[in-house]
């Protein structure tokens, strides 16, 4: 591979030996000379391709080969706007996430034609910047404050209860698909309506839209020709817009005493007494739904998988759950804080397999990223996954050891499943509550064994999930846990114990 130092490197920096990121974790970037590489030409094209199909694999590979900072540039004739920088580690996370005026987010969903429903549906908090973002965040955040989230406890329990009754002992189920159905129902019920007949169809439409947004076809052939995947995606956005606006209108006509998040957003007022327009409600509701259910699906799927593969952890967790909840009762709100080991399990799951494994930010002004002086509009990739796998922050990073959380207290830039800084996820308390309730209820009823020999590769769209599902055998709750041999990319990400060693 042809790689060379580029003219974007600030040559005024004195030449010192390069440091690996692990060594300077916790020190200011200005204190160290960071190892950096620029890759150009065909080699860069190859990396772009790899990044598109397997971003986590590509980021890890570049890090292993070139260290914490790699720049891909000048793939085609255009330059230097084409730069894509990979900047790994806590100090780069701080650089990218602490000042939203320096770096802005960029969307993963195609914008669609001008004035299309596609543009309006994707315009939620995640895409807004500056004063508009601050004003909308002030309106959107209150229903997700810890106290408000407690109010959704009963509906979450009710949905989990209803759905897991359908999981049959002795069956082989795709746990990823089942969890997806569960979180889809929870998000629909809490965000839109307690009445499944009203909420669920919208949830399904949004799920379908996300699937279309991430299908290869819409990227390869992004033209609104009837019959094309792109056209199908835009049409689906139109249906969602129609259905959500109708739901908003029904609530305006008859506000009633509703507690769903959409109704709360309709009543919200900012400091100057301004509420949301219909267009704002549409974008926020759609993005909240997607941000919520895609990520929570990933966290719950991987948690169940990691637990199934770690018998010793399961024993400890079941000791805690059974002693607090008695063995078969759903948790009450006051019991959730009495499950500290469950909290450690959730944290460790999202460390080792973070639902959002990387984030892209765009420089809003010329800025220095490690040794590179980069122009405005340069895209920079930070990796939650790689940060969580740095050995000096997390010894034996590929081992699932929830008990490590009893002794460590990383900064927000060292542990960032929900991101960090002023744009940190507003749904962290919500997601944590869903995870605690679901895990406590599911594990009190079932034991899971991963089907031996399963190939588990990752797919990353909005979140990271098993590419081809995750088959597990459902047994009644007992303590006969066993580790299954699994194959695929999962083995690069997790070191599994052998049977009997926990």
Question: What is the distance between the alpha carbons of residues 43 and 440, in angstroms, rounded to a whole number?
Answer: 48
Nearer to ligand HEM, 264 or 426 (CB): 426
Question: What is the distance between the alpha carbons of residues 200 and 163, in angstroms, rounded to a whole number?
Answer: 14
Stretch that binds ligand HEM, among 111-119, 236-244, 421-429, 482-490 (CB under 6 A): 421-429
**Helix 175-191 / helix 153-164 crossing angle, nearest 10 deg:** 150
Write each residue from 179 to 218 as x if it is in contact with ligand HEM (CB under 6 A), else as -, in one continuous string: ----------------------------------------
All residues at 6 or more sequence positions from 46 whose CB lies less than 8 Å from its CB, including other chains: none
423 is a site residue for ligand HEM (CB under 6 A): yes
- Copy the structure tokens of residue 54: 């397997």
426 is a site residue for ligand HEM (CB under 6 A): yes
Question: What is the distance between the alpha carbons of residues 34 and 140, in angstroms, rounded to a whole number?
Answer: 39
CA distances (Å), 218 to each of 55, 111, 239, 394, in order? Answer: 18, 11, 18, 39
299 is a site residue for ligand HEM (CB under 6 A): yes
359 is a site residue for ligand HEM (CB under 6 A): yes
Stretch that binds ligand HEM, among 88-96, 238-246, 294-302, 444-452 (CB under 6 A): 294-302
355 is a site residue for ligand HEM (CB under 6 A): yes
Sign of the CA dihedral 354, 356, 360, 365?
negative
Nearer to ligand HEM, 263 or 292 (CB): 292
CA distances (Å), 231 to each of 84, 209, 213, 236, 287, in order? Answer: 29, 12, 11, 9, 20
Alpha carbon 101 to its chain centroid, in Å, reads 23
**Locus of tokens 């594990």:** 443
Q: Which residues pair with 44 in a beta bridge?
A: none
Out of 73, 427, 466, 471, point to the residue binding ligand HEM (CB under 6 A).
427
73 is a site residue for ligand HEM (CB under 6 A): no
Q: Is 187 within 8 Å of 203 (Cβ atoms)?
A: yes
Shortest distance (Å) from residue 202 CB to ligand HEM: 15
CA geometry: angle 140, 413, 407, nearest 5 deg:
110
Out of 139, 206, 386, 431, point to the residue binding ligand HEM (CB under 6 A).
431
Nearer to ligand HEM, 137 or 194 (CB): 137
SS (H, E, C) 203-218: HHHHHHHHHHHCCHHH
83 is a site residue for ligand HEM (CB under 6 A): no
Stretch that binds ligand HEM, among 22-30, 215-223, 425-433, 478-486 (CB under 6 A): 425-433
Q: Among the residues of 254-383, which ranges form H helices?
A: 261-267, 278-308, 311-325, 340-352
Neighbour count for residue 253 (Cβ, 10 Å)? 7
Nearer to ligand HEM, 228 or 364 (CB): 364
Nearer to ligand HEM, 44 or 247 (CB): 247
- Copy the structure tokens of residue 412: 């927000």
Out of 356, 374, 382, 393, point to the residue binding ligand HEM (CB under 6 A).
356
Q: Is 300 within 8 Å of 438 (Cβ atoms)?
A: yes
Nearer to ligand HEM, 125 or 483 (CB): 125
Q: Is 24 within 8 Å of 91 (Cβ atoms)?
A: yes
Out of 118, 263, 292, 438, point to the residue binding ligand HEM (CB under 6 A).
292
Out of 39, 60, 109, 125, point to the residue binding ligand HEM (CB under 6 A).
125
Shortest distance (Å) from residue 323 CB to ligand HEM: 26
Nearer to ligand HEM, 140 or 313 (CB): 140
Segment 439 to 498, residues that bind ligand HEM, using CB under 6 A: none
- Copy the structure tokens of residue 192: 């839109």
Out of 103, 405, 418, 446, point to the residue binding ligand HEM (CB under 6 A).
418
Out of 6, 70, 93, 126, point to the residue binding ligand HEM (CB under 6 A).
126
Stretch that binds ligand HEM, among 39-47, 50-58, 70-78, 351-359 (CB under 6 A): 351-359
Instruction: Decide: helix, strand or coil at residue 453.
Output: coil
295 is a site residue for ligand HEM (CB under 6 A): yes
Neighbour count for residue 458 (Cβ, 10 Å)? 22
Interaction site with ligand HEM (CB under 6 A): 105, 125-126, 137, 288, 291-292, 295-296, 299, 355-356, 359, 417-419, 423, 425-427, 430-431
């Amino acid at each position: 591979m042809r790689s060379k130092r580029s003219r974007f490197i600030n040559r005024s920096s004195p030449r010192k030996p390069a440091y690996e990121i692990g060594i300077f974790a916790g020190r200011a970037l200005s204190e160290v000379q960071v190892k950096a590489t620029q890759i150009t030409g065909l080699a860069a094209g190859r990396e772009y391709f790899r990044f598109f199909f397997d971003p986590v694999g590509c980021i890890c590979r570049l890090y292993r080969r070139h260290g914490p900072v790699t720049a891909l540039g000048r793939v085609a004739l255009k330059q230097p706007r084409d730069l894509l920088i990979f900047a790994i580690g806590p100090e780069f996370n701080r650089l990218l996430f602490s000042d939203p005026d320096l770096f802005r987010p960029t969307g993963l969903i195609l914008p669609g034609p001008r004035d299309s429903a596609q543009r309006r549906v994707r315009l939620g908090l995640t895409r807004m910047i500056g004063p508009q973002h601050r004003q909308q965040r002030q309106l959107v955040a209150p229903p997700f404050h810890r106290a408000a989230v407690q109010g959704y406890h009963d509906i979450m329990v009710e949905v989990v209860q209803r759905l897991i009754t359908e999981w049959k002992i002795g069956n082989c189920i795709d746990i990823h698909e089942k969890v997806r159905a569960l979180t889809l129902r929870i998000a629909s019920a809490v965000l839109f309506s307690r009445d499944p007949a009203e909420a669920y169809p919208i949830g399904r439409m949004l799920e379908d839209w996300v699937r279309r947004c991430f299908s290869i076809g819409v990227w390869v052939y992004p033209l609104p020709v009837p019959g094309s995947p792109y056209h199908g995606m835009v049409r689906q956005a139109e249906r969602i817009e129609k259905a959500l606006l109708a739901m908003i209108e029904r609530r305006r006509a008859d506000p009633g005493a509703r507690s769903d998040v959409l109704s709360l957003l309709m009543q919200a007022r900012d400091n100057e007494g301004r509420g949301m327009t219909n267009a704002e409600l549409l974008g926020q509701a759609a993005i909240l739904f997607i941000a919520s259910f895609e990520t929570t699906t990933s966290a719950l799927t991987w948690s169940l998988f990691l637990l199934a593969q770690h018998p010793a952890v399961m024993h400890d967790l079941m000791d805690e759950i059974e002693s607090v909840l008695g063995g078969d009762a759903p948790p009450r709100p006051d019991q959730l804080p009495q499950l500290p080991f469950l909290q450690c399990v959730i944290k460790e799951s999202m460390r080792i397999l973070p639902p959002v494994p990387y984030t892209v930010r765009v420089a809003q002004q010329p800025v220095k990223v490690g040794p590179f002086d980069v122009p405005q509009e340069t895209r920079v990739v930070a990796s939650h996954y790689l940060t969580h796998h740095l050995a000096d922050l997390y010894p034996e990073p590929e081992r699932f050891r929830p008990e490590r959380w009893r002794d460590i207290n990383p900064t927000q830039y060292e542990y960032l499943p929900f991101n960090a800084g002023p744009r940190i996820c507003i749904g962290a308390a919500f997601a944590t509550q869903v995870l605690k309730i679901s895990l406590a209820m599911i594990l009190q009823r079932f034991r899971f064994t991963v089907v031996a020999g399963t190939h588990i590769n990752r797919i990353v769209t909005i979140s990271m999930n098993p590419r081809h599902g995750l088959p597990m055998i459902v047994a009644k709750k007992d303590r006969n846990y066993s580790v299954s041999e699994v194959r695929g990319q999962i083995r690069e990400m997790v070191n599994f114990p052998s049977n009997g060693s926990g």
